[in-house]
Structure 1
Amino acid sequence: MSTRRTAIVTGAARGIGAAVAKRLAADGFAVAVLDLDEAACKPVVEDIRSGGGDALAVGADVSDETAVEAAVARVAQELGAPTVLVNNAGIVRDNLLFKMASDDWDAVTNVHLRGAFLMSRAVQRHMTEQRWGRIVNLSSTSALGNRGQANYSAAKAGLQGFTKTLAIELGKFGVTANAVAPGFIETDMTAAAAERMGMSFEDFKASGAAQVPLGRTGRPEDIAHTVSFFASEGAGFVSGQVLYVAGGPCD
Structure 2
Amino acid sequence: MHPESWQLTDDLDDFLARAGGFLRSRPALHTVPLTVTDTLRRHGQRFHGADAPLFGTLTAADGTVVAALFWTPPSGLYLTPVTARQADALAERLAGLGHRLPEACAERDSAAEFARAWQRRTGVTARVRRRERLYRLGEPTPPSPAPRGRPRVAGPADRDLLIRWYGEFARAIGEGAGRDAGAWADGRLSYGGVTLWEAADGTPLAMAGATREIAGQVRVAPVYTPPGLRGRGYAGAVTAEVSRAARAAGAAEVLLFTDLANPTSNALYQRLGYREVADFTVWGFGA
Task: Give the greater-gyration-radius structure (CA).
Answer: 2
TM-score, normalization by structure 1:
0.33
Larger relative contact order (Cα-Cα within 8 Å, sequence gap ≥ 6): 2
Higher strand share: 2
Higher helix share: 1
